Structure 1
């Protein structure tokens, strides 16, 4: 069982465009350490630039109303191309992730100069699907990983990767020589009715 660290008030809602005086839920150290690099995920009323738990007041919007976020990496090399993965490792629940990893979004061939501005209009291999954790399954991690693509590499999903659930992102990454992510970010949210 992970310990909750009150000093890690990384439920820092300064990342949101709102002011909340208290935070009922705190990130574990493991969840807080996932975020690396300068990655920003930008929804209409929520800017995620560090690991954070989505406030209750926004959970319904992120699950039912908002479409794909803008994703920005100011440190992207303007001459390179990038791949963006969005996955849920907690499908259908963190305690029993029998459908992990759930692929929520997969974009390739994102130009570095566009990624610097928050434009991820690359080639979409998996269309964006909203974070919609099932009721009663607790917090789910929604992870964004950005990889630099090797030059001349053409990325695609294999016929065996047609299902969104039980996807193996590590196999995908290794198949195309993507190495380590240049940036990673996650937010946690749960069903808005919980």
Structure 2
């Protein structure tokens, strides 16, 4: 398993090995001990899966507040996405900064996004399936979001803004200034 910290060192790009032969492939996509060795000791309590039928679907930027704050381990099983994490921990030296990586069924990489970070992605292909493990259960009252194209953050999305497909909820999301004090940096 290859583990690479991104520009936000807590956000990790993880690529499990794939063993291929004429029949197809085998890959161990999650192993609790290997994750602990990589610095991820959280317990996962919920698995989610989404299908986006169109290229340009943006989901995010989302999070949940404590005590339901979620760390996420994200992977793509069909298609590809540009996956993004934004540090929303007030007092963090990287507060408001973002890191992104392409995840695809081809590159087989996963992204670890700790609690205290906003998460979002855009689909780069039609019929893209995303699966992710969460460290806390979904709680609607704790759910928060920030505009995907917020100028305060300045994410470099690889998509034409005119062709983005958004949910009603994401269309109504506030700017990043609303996230002040959602999370605290503990150093």
TM-score range, shorter chain: under 0.3
- Greater share of helix residues, 1 or 2? 1
- Greater share of strand residues, 1 or 2? 2
After TM superposition, the score normalised by the length of structure 2 is: 0.28
